[in-house]
Chains A and B, each alone.
Chain A
Amino acid sequence: MAQSHDHAERHDPIYDQLAAKPEFDRLRHLYRRFIIPATIAFISWYALYVLMSMFAPGFMNHVLFGNINVALVFGLLQFVTTFGIAYLYSQYSNKHLDPLARQLNDEYDAYRASNGGN
């Protein structure tokens, strides 16, 4: 593998061309539109759970029925939200991100094929 110990080799102009396309702007926008709010949401939700577990015993120890208290339900809800966000992201990517990514990747492959590189 040819790798200089300084920076890797000068980059290919195709990347600048792809980056300048409106499709790429749209892909980046759509990616960030999902991951930024989703990350803020699950981190805050988890932080709330951790802080309540340590500092809100009155609320967390409240028994809902039998031996099931709020703390257990809150903990299990973290599982539900984790599965839920993962599922939503998968649906969102399939629908909004993958088609754009594929299209740009195809343009890259076409450029590579016509320029004889690999």
Chain B
Amino acid sequence: MDGNQILTAGLFLGVVALTIGITIWASRQTSGAADYYAGGRGFSGFQNGLAIGGDYMSAASFLGISGAIALYGYDGFLYSIGFLVAWLVALLLVAEVLRNSGRYTMADQLAYRMKQRPVRTAAAVSTVAVSIFYLLAQMVGAGALVALLLGVESGAVKNLTIFVVGALMIFYVTVGGMKGTTWVQIVKAVLLMTGSALIVILVLNEFGFNLSDLLGAAADNSGKGQPFLEPGLKYGATLTSKIDFISLAIALVLGTAGLPHILIRFYTTPTSRDARKSVLWAIGLIGTFYLFTLVLGFGAAALIKPEDFDPAGNLAAPKLAEVVGGGVGSTGGAILLALIAAVAFATILAVVAGLTLTSSMSVAHDVWNPVFKEGKATEAQEMKVSRIAAGCIGLVAILLAIPAQSLNIAFLVALAFAVAASANLPAILYNMFWKGFNTRGAVWSIYGGLITAVGLVIFSPVFSGAETSLFPEQDFAWFPLANPGIVSIPMGFLLGFIGSITSKEPEAAEKYTELEVRALTGAGAEGAVQH
């Protein structure tokens, strides 16, 4: 190891030590289920807004979008717009309603007026599925990041990193619960925003704070000229690729408000008004961050030779930091590279913790207790099962992430969004806005959306029939698009509708009034924990 690698390793260990310290501190403040699952519902709108940002701005956003812009120019920017506009769905239609009518998980809101067991089980299955896809993306990204920073293309280093990330996330969740996880996310959001702002200022400084000059330099240096600044470089080739992009755009804009690890963050505030404020903060934060990635991506394209990028572009942001810090081999460059890499690592840790927490809670609260214990287990028992589930999910994620390293990170995240939009969002919206929605409708829309989304991907070029497929030797692809959303999201809505109109459930309609009053007024909503 040379001096720079020691510096990098030191900053990584610093991030790990900081997060472990936060987790241990938070564990001393955690006494009951509302603390463990919902952070005592005591986070202010601003704090939760930061934590939402920390939960949402994943490695796919930071490394993936800046890398996509660096490689494909304008088309990388299209992602960030979908990721941002999506927050209006969460703000207007979901956040406050969910905060007022639920308790700990996404299923709480759905099960409010439905038969508990089938609806909770379906919601838990889709929660775990979405979370696992998302987890795999983060863990694969962590492995690639560390291996490339150490300059070794070794499978053992990647596997070891995946194992360490997995072990850390199990630790954060089982020890710190929601409180620890939230504080890890808050610290990460501050680190990420500060680190990116610093690089953005240094990049803009190179171009005299003239965006037009920066774009011109990016177009020239990329070797692609003006088309680099225009839509279509990545998606504009054929009609199929254009429809594929539209399919992706629909999933991005509708997926966010169905991501379980985002939904449960709304429960951590004292009232629905604080939940609304937290979404407003999150929109400001996330929007600013995506404007940063625009500068980072075009900055990398302008200042780094195209042949120096890794094939997926995932290291564009750290490499850019090295260049603007003084160049390859300089001390300033080494410090900034190490800093940004450590920030990216913190980003990954905060997101995987949120995902593990969400899925383990759902297993304990929505499946184990209602289905296997008939709802008779105490909350203390439920928490214990939740901790065990966090360990199991962490192990499963580690075991799946090792073979999943050949999959593209952005694809895994897009799949998580597509499943969330197809399986979760129709049920959440119907439940709130349609009196006639019932148990069969909920179950059909969740399983139907999930199976359609995953099934179409299996029969798409992602799996077989193309050189870049998972199984390039075989060809069982008949669905032409890599993104299933354009079919699977309408399917989720359609099945929810058909399921509801073909079954009678007066109890579900009767409790709709109660749900609506509670959702809009907050009457009877869960309050904050008094310590």
Contact = CB atoms under 8 A, between A and B. Distances in A.
A5 B215 CA distance: 59
Interface in A1-58: 1-8, 11-12, 14-16, 18-19, 24, 27-28, 31, 34-35, 38-39, 42-43, 46, 49-51, 53-55, 57
Contact of B232 (A54, A72, A78, A79): A54
Contacts of A18: 517, 521, 523
B516 A86 contact: no
Interface stretch (B142-150, B351-359, B473-481, B506-514): B506-514
A98 B273 contact: yes
B91 A89 contact: yes
Given A39-B93, A75-B81, A79-B84, A104 B517 contact: yes
Contacts, number: 183
Interface in B113-133: 113-117
A4 B375 CA distance: 6
B253 A67 contact: no
Contact of A105 (B213, B516, B522): B522
Nearest to A101: B521
Interface string B216-232: 10010000001001111
A72 B213 CA distance: 14
A35 B376 CA distance: 39
Interface residues of B, number: 70
Given A49-B81, A54-B246, A67-B216, A35 B92 contact: yes
Contact of B514 (A11, A68, A105, A109): A11
Given A8-B111, A86-B91, A71 B230 contact: yes
A57 B236 contact: yes
Nearest to A63: B226
A75 B511 contact: no
B517 A15 contact: yes
A114 B390 CA distance: 42
B187 to A, nearest CB: 25
A29 B515 CA distance: 16
Given A8-B111, A8-B112, A66 B88 contact: no
Given A8-B511, A66-B212, A108 B521 contact: yes
A110 to B, nearest CB: 11
B231 A53 contact: yes
B35 to A, nearest CB: 16
B88 A105 contact: no
A28 B520 contact: yes
A12 B514 contact: yes
Interface string B463-486: 000000000000000000000000
Contacts of A35: 92-93
Given A2-B375, A54-B242, A38 B92 contact: yes
A50 B521 contact: no
Given A18-B523, A24-B521, A7 B115 contact: yes
A16 B93 contact: no
Interface in B191-227: 211-213, 215-216, 219, 226
Interface residues of A, number: 61
Contacts of B280: 86-87, 90
B267 interface: no
B117 A105 contact: no
Contact of B230 (A2, A57, A89, A108): A57
B284 interface: yes
Nearest to B253: A46
B455 interface: no
A5 B521 contact: no
A32 to B, nearest CB: 9
A16 to B, nearest CB: 6
B428 to A, nearest CB: 14
Given A31-B520, A53-B78, A5 B116 contact: yes
Given A65-B212, A67-B215, A89-B92, A5 B511 contact: no
B370 interface: yes
A11 B511 contact: yes
Nearest to B84: A82
Contact of A90 (B276, B375, B510): B276
Contacts of A4: 116, 374-375
A19 B522 contact: no
Contacts of A65: 212
B369 interface: yes
Contacts of B370: 3, 5
Interface string A85-113: 11101100100001011001101110000
Given A8-B113, A50-B246, 18 more contacts: A15-B524, A24-B520, A28-B516, A28-B520, A35-B93, A39-B88, A46-B85, A51-B246, A54-B235, A71-B74, A78-B84, A79-B290, A86-B283, A98-B273, A101-B521, A101-B522, A104-B517, A109-B523
10 contacts: A1-B379, A7-B113, A27-B521, A54-B231, A54-B246, A55-B242, A71-B74, A86-B280, A90-B280, A101-B522
Q: Which 4 A-B pairs have the closest CB atoms?
A: A66-B212, A3-B375, A108-B523, A53-B231
